[in-house]
Amino acid sequence: MRLSRYFLPILREVPKEAEIVSHRLMLRAGMVRQESAGIYAWLPLGLRVLNKVCAIVREEQNRAGAIELLMPTIQSADLWRESGRYDDYGKEMLRIRDRHEREMLFGPTNEEMITEIVRGYVKSYKSLPLNLYHIQWKFRDEVRPRFGVYRSREFLMKDAYSFDLDAEGARHSYNKMFVAYLRTFSRMGLKAIPMVADTGPIGGNLSHEFIILASTGESEVFCHADYLDKAVPGAGTDFEDRAGLQGLVDQWTELYAATSEKHDSDAFGAIPEPRRLAARGIEVGHIFYFGTKYSAPFGAKVQGPDGAEHMIHMGSYGIGPSRLVAALIEASHDEAGIVWPEAVAPFRVGILNLKTGDSATDAACEDLYARLVAAGIDVLYDDTDERAGAKFASADLIGLPWQILVGPKSLAAGKVELKRRVDGTRELVSPDDVLERLTA
RNA sequence: CGGAGCAUAGCGCAGCCCGGUAGCGCAUCUGCUUUGGGAGCAGAGGGUCGCAGGUUCGAAUCCUGCUGCUCCGACCA
């Protein structure tokens, strides 16, 4: 992409409403624009990151055996009356009437709908286990939206719902998601720690929150420091190996880790003092097992091998990609701007033409650009006639992991500079070597 | 939902107390000079002063109502 043709409204000054660093940087980097309290338009740069986050979420959900579908944003009130949550949910639910005065709502979650869908088709234990997920916009009419897309009213959510014949099967489904979550966050460059969680209004008795550590996090968390160095299960993990998967989950839950709501100071105190970690954290995922809480009121049951009818055991598993984008920035930024992990960077590489109009510099940039594009690399070519300093500032602000600085100085020696955003280091290398390095 | 505050150009703000035909910085556009860490000079464009009423010869400014947004607290993927 040529910057001169792109839509990247960078702000030099910070809109005053932005309090936390991720919100400020997202506005400055031209990633989002507020349209209403807690409602945002995703501008091209922000959308690129959001899509990359979703792609990783999808890959790991699919790897763990979950199947994607797509449910609507608008649901009927009747569906929610069936579970009894229409009245319970309160003012957080955005209620709407259509032209026929039918009561509708903008979905805050989809347990009811997915249960209704499965009830309609699944009649035999042979169809189980089943895990269906979708990535869809949701709306919760928060009393006080804040922190940009971190706590917005409209937000993108991946929610998966598992269906099993019995509690043991459900436990296995839970473990699949548990491992999938470890992998998902790890691939985004985050260290996410599963913590024992309150099951909240959704209910159930088995639940973990996935927390990443960030000084700006809103919850207080306590855990064993060994979690920070734990190896995440590999891509070759056999998700059908029940015992093996349980072993992985056990490894990841045997050490102490809890949010302040579930904090047990005795257990925490039992950790050797130097390994005690009290920090602030951001919740980026939450998984639940809730048994027959929804299948019972919906009459979602299957016939088992014994010929009898069994209530389906369910779990649900959420990740908020829109929130994750903010969380990623909270976890990775500096004074100059965002420091994207490569896996989610809007563009992996930036080419900075430090002297637009100079024929040698222009030619070298065009050549590099063409070759990187041909190699299938996401590259943003700053071909504008801004001064070098402004280009450095912009590239650092939007967090491009690799920046190729092309100017007359280094070009005189047949070189360009390859700069790493994460530590600011630069190397003088030939254009051919840059290609080599970035495509390796 | 309790408490506090704000609303003037794309962004950040001044002007309001004390009414008199709307201003600054950044951004944008044109020209010239610059050109390796957010350049300089000269010029230009851009605003129903959140909305609706009222007071007044005259309202961004005073009064009333409304709307939107932000912050603190309780709640929350």
Determine the protein residue whose CA lies at the shortest distance from the C1' of B38: A390
Distance A40 CA to B5 C1' (A): 23
3-state secondary structure of A18: coil
Contact between A197 and A207 under an 8 Å Cβ cutoff? The reply is yes
Distance A13 CA to B48 C1' (A): 27
- Residue A73 phi, psi (nearest 5): -80, -35
Determine the protein residue whose CA lies at the shortest distance from the C1' of B2: A143
Distance A37 CA to B69 C1' (A): 7
- Residue A184 phi, psi (nearest 5): -60, -50
- Nearest by Cα to A280 from A337, A338, A197, A223: A223
Distance A155 CA to B73 C1' (A): 24
Q: Which nucleotide is nearest to A358 (CA to C1')?
A: B35
The pLDDT value given to residue A205: 59
Distance A95 CA to B64 C1' (A): 33
The pLDDT value given to residue A433: 97
* Backbone dihedral region for residue A81 (phi beyond 0: left; psi -120 to 50: alpha; all else: beta): alpha
Q: Which nucleotide is nearest to A385 (CA to C1')?
A: B35
Q: Which nucleotide is nearest to A318 (CA to C1')?
A: B77
Distance A36 CA to B66 C1' (A): 18
- Residue A429: beta bridge partners? A416
Domain locations in chain A?
3-338, 347-439
Q: Which nucleotide is nearest to A91 (CA to C1')?
A: B1
CATH of domain A3-338: 3.30.930.10
Distance A212 CA to B51 C1' (A): 44
Distance A359 CA to B29 C1' (A): 26
Pick one of 3.30.70.20, 3.40.50.620, 3.40.50.800, 3.50.30.40 as the CATH number of A347-439. Answer: 3.40.50.800
Q: Is the dihedral of CA A59, A60, A65, A68 positive or negative?
A: negative
Q: Which nucleotide is nearest to A34 (CA to C1')?
A: B69
- Nearest by Cα to A237 from A177, A285, A190, A287: A177
Q: Which nucleotide is nearest to A286 (CA to C1')?
A: B77
Determine the protein residue whose CA lies at the shortest distance from the C1' of B72: A144
Distance A186 CA to B38 C1' (A): 34
Q: Which nucleotide is nearest to A416 (CA to C1')?
A: B36
pLDDT (tens, 9 = 90+) of chain A, 440 residues, equals 999 999 999 998 888 888 889 999 999 999 999 999 999 999 999 999 999 999 999 999 999 999 999 999 999 999 999 998 898 888 889 999 999 999 999 999 999 999 999 999 999 999 999 999 999 999 999 888 988 999 999 999 999 999 999 999 999 999 999 999 999 999 999 999 999 877 655 555 589 999 998 887 878 899 999 999 999 999 999 999 999 999 999 999 999 999 888 888 899 999 999 999 998 889 999 999 989 999 999 999 999 999 999 999 999 999 999 999 999 999 999 999 999 999 999 999 999 999 999 999 999 999 999 999 999 999 999 999 999 999 999 999 999 999 999 999 999 999 999 999 999 999 999 999 999 999 98
The pLDDT value given to residue A46: 97
Distance A369 CA to B23 C1' (A): 46
Q: Please name the helix (run of DSSP H) or strand (run of DSSP E) that holds residue A265, with its range, or none.
A: helix A265-269
ipTM for the predicted complex comes to 0.93
Other beta carbons less than 10 A from residue A47's beta carbon: 15
Q: Which nucleotide is nearest to A319 (CA to C1')?
A: B77
Within 7 A of a protein CB, which nucleotides of strand B?
A: 1-2, 10-13, 25-27, 34-39, 68-77
**For A156-179, b where at least 16 C-beta lie within 10 A, e where not — what string?**
bbbbbbbbbbeeebbbbbbbbbbb
Contact between A347 and A429 under an 8 Å Cβ cutoff? The reply is no
Determine the protein residue whose CA lies at the shortest distance from the C1' of B37: A389
